[in-house]
């Protein structure tokens, strides 16, 4: 994937909610994109999928943005918690 592909991908729900003139960090967008297109489907998230998929598929772009943002925070929290436990 090249930089142009990432730039052109900007999460459509964020664009729908924030408008075309919002600014984005290409690196963070790439990580966010990869999570929702690839990583979210990994079995390590099976325990979350039943509760979160309804938010990610909500008909409202505002609700989907909030759902994605909240889920991203949960996933990042898990990652940090795992790292801390590994260092004990």
How far apart CA 28 and CA 12 sit, in angstroms, is: 15
- What is the domain extent for residue 39? 3-86
Q: Residue 26: phi, psi to the nearest 5?
A: -60, -45
Mean pLDDT of each 10-residue bin along the chain, 88 residues long: 52 70 73 91 95 94 90 94 90
Domain count of the fold of the chain? 1
Contact between 40 and 57 under an 8 Å Cβ cutoff? The reply is: no
Task: Give me the pLDDT at residue 75, please.
Answer: 95
């Amino acid at each position: 994937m090249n930089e142009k592909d990432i730039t052109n991908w900007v999460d459509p729900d964020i664009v729908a909610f924030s408008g075309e003139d919002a600014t984005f960090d290409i690196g963070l967008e790439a990580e966010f994109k990869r999570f929702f297109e690839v990583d979210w489907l990994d079995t390590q998230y099976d325990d979350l999928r039943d509760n979160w998929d309804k938010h990610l598929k909500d008909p409202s772009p505002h609700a989907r943005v909030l759902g994605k943002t909240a889920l991203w925070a949960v996933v990042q929290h898990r990652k940090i918690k795992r790292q801390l436990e590994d260092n004990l």
